[in-house]
Structure 1
């Protein structure tokens, strides 16, 4: 591969040290001279060490980078060298898109560039004050995505009268806000054309009339509103959801609103078009009823999946045991690429869950990554590992699992040779001290941090 690739012709580069490819970046740096990538326009790095990041950025920022993405660095502090290089990169006139899921931009040591052409920014989290700081320094910013945004609804915050009209698109995930705080916060961004909100809040957030008033008075340019809110107060939600049938929502804005609820779990989900949702923690136990502003339908009578684009799906053992034909129509499992399972009861796993899991894995025929986690009192032995290995399909390329013995680890590596990477969690010190352990790791790329071991099994030549 190294002989085929001509670095001077490469315009996009993605490097990763994450769980599926530990050590990839260090291997890449031994094979290529980063100074030769003179036409690089897009750079994305995952889980990178500070030294490697500095080495790559020192050369990359002198190219005409348009997009830069840095995710999940192993750094636990704010190294001044990295912060300086990052500030220099943000000042480059060609840079338009910047993603940084590390809180380097929020460090007191970070020096904001005097000028920046960045129009699209994605960060992991920030406070209200930090949000204002970002918009104050990035005058050309048009889109911001906050993976997590949390204001304590029990405390009062002083909202300044400043507004930032440059912003036209705002996305916020993992919300926990009161409607009062949302109304005050959105006064900062009067020019929004697109708004996306996901999370939970007080009951007032489900008030359609209040949202209508907010949008008419504070967000007059808004033409796309994507939202998904969870609650367990079904009675309040059902009464409030009626207000979303007003002409403003359906006739004027053409925004259908959907209410999904489960009688057994008392789980309620209110959302706009579900197609924007790609990650889902599946808490429904069924039967599930879907109510929309267009019509009322029972999920059993619908031939269409409600969630059609779920890429990452999380299921508890309780929910997995209860999956049946009607609830399975809620999600198109064939689209899932990453599946996370939490097992809590070994006896039920043997008697029921393993059969349900086998059926589900056959439906998720595009799954690439499988994560299986256990409650602390769940007994994980070789018999269980052997059983799980028999269920893992060949299209799964990454497995993330707890293994407490060297025998269990050998079983997985021997039985699942189609895997290209595996992560072992909660490894006891007694296993790590064995001589066989070092023999096992001698010919594979691996990374150990805390109590987890990440192994890259792909031995194809580069």
Structure 2
């Protein structure tokens, strides 16, 4: 194809900046084959994010025919009722190990049968630094065995991806039960959807280098004092679901919060408690 258009006058650097403001489906659907010059730029353009949740079904197939996996920096796979099967369609074109430049991977509501083809090969992604693997609340309501599914998938991750865990900077999981946390030696940012007090103690003991921690804590609130050992925290978000026969007061917060000298952002939510509206104690 030999064609020319007005956009051919722009340098590559300017077009890359412009491309960053255009959704990926629209970018490739509208600009591919406009000219040889634009095609050459699109082929080598580093795609900051592919989010399948925002893609229509025909977008997925079209994009897969016009991109290379080594262009993608961040990938988000999200399966639900509205876009069920898009992740499977996407990976009918690619294998996860082809995403050699991938730095961030998010897997939401992905079925175990499909995960078996993804998780064992994550060790091959040498640039991956952020990994999110979780389920939504709607998914948990429909799939009552989600805890068992998650445990099975986590087992695959632990048995096959030791190198990956040691290189991660950011991690999001439903829980960290039965995980060996000491392998997360470089981890700085951790998000846990369901965290027991036992898991909290292990996190504080085995990952003291954390800089941000976001968790929904369940169980006896007395153990939140262990957070004082995370002295490097700059960002802390806590949702605490205590048992109905237990009570959460400002005293528990005062046991750890004054020790977090570097903390700049703190969010707190509790289903039971008292004294939190006393401004003098904050």
User: Which band: TM-score by shorter chain?
Assistant: 0.5 to 0.7
SS in structure 2 at match of 1:121? strand
CA pair 15-49 structure 1, distance change in 2 beyond 3 A: same
Conservation of the 8 A alpha-carbon contact between 1:179 and 1:201: no
- Residue 160 of structure 1 and its aligned partner are, at CA, apart by 6.3
SS in structure 2 at match of 1:116? coil
TM-score normalised per structure 1: 0.39
2:105 aligned with 1:40, yes or no?
A: no
CA pair 124-53 structure 1, distance change in 2 beyond 3 A: same
CA pair 5-70 structure 1, distance change in 2 beyond 3 A: same
Q: 2: distance between equivalents of 1:49 and 1:183?
A: 42
> Among residues 136, 144, 165, which one is paired with 2:205 in the alignment?
136
2:247 aligned with 1:172, yes or no?
A: no
Aligned partner of 1:195 in structure 2 is 266
Aligned partner of 2:217 in structure 1 is 149
CA pair 87-15 structure 1, distance change in 2 beyond 3 A: same
2:278 aligned with 1:207, yes or no?
A: yes
Aligned partner of 1:90 in structure 2 is 165
SS in structure 1 at match of 2:124? coil
CA pair 40-161 structure 1, distance change in 2 beyond 3 A: closer
CA pair 158-137 structure 1, distance change in 2 beyond 3 A: closer
Superposed CA RMSD: 2.8
Conservation of the 8 A alpha-carbon contact between 1:84 and 1:111: no
Q: 2: distance between equivalents of 1:161 and 1:44?
A: 27
Residue correspondences, number = 202
Q: Normalized per residue, which structure has more strand?
A: 1
Aligned partner of 2:130 in structure 1 is 67
Conservation of the 8 A alpha-carbon contact between 1:90 and 1:113: no
Q: 2: distance between equivalents of 1:158 and 1:119?
A: 19
Q: Note the alpha carbon deviations across 1:374-433, whole angstroms, 9 max, x for none.
A: xxxxxxxxxxxxxxxxxxxxxxxxxxxxxxxxxxxxxxxxxxxxxxxxxxxxxxxxxxxx
Conservation of the 8 A alpha-carbon contact between 2:120 and 2:156: no
CA pair 158-40 structure 1, distance change in 2 beyond 3 A: closer
Any stretches of 5+ residues in structure 2 without a counterpart? 1-61, 243-247
SS in structure 2 at match of 1:98? strand
TM-score normalised per structure 2: 0.62
CA pair 86-30 structure 1, distance change in 2 beyond 3 A: same
1:54-453 correspondence to structure 2 within 5 Å: 54-63=116-125, 64-72=127-135, 75-77=146-148, 78-79=151-152, 80-85=155-160, 87-92=162-167, 95-100=168-173, 102-103=174-175, 105-107=176-178, 110-114=179-183, 116-146=185-215, 148-152=216-220, 163-173=229-239, 177-186=248-257, 189-211=260-282
Larger Rg, first or second structure (1 or 2)? 1
CA pair 137-51 structure 1, distance change in 2 beyond 3 A: farther
CA pair 161-179 structure 1, distance change in 2 beyond 3 A: closer
Conservation of the 8 A alpha-carbon contact between 1:164 and 1:189: yes
- Residue 99 of structure 1 and its aligned partner are, at CA, apart by 1.0
SS in structure 1 at match of 2:205? helix
Q: 1: distance between equivalents of 2:226 and 2:170?
A: 28
- Residue 114 of structure 1 and its aligned partner are, at CA, apart by 3.6
Conservation of the 8 A alpha-carbon contact between 1:163 and 1:187: no
Conservation of the 8 A alpha-carbon contact between 1:170 and 1:192: yes
Conservation of the 8 A alpha-carbon contact between 1:163 and 1:190: no
Q: 2: distance between equivalents of 1:10 and 1:160?
A: 39
CA pair 43-209 structure 1, distance change in 2 beyond 3 A: same
SS in structure 2 at match of 1:76? helix
Any stretches of 5+ residues in structure 1 without a counterpart? 212-462
Aligned partner of 2:54 in structure 1 is none
Q: 1: distance between equivalents of 2:238 and 2:186?
A: 22
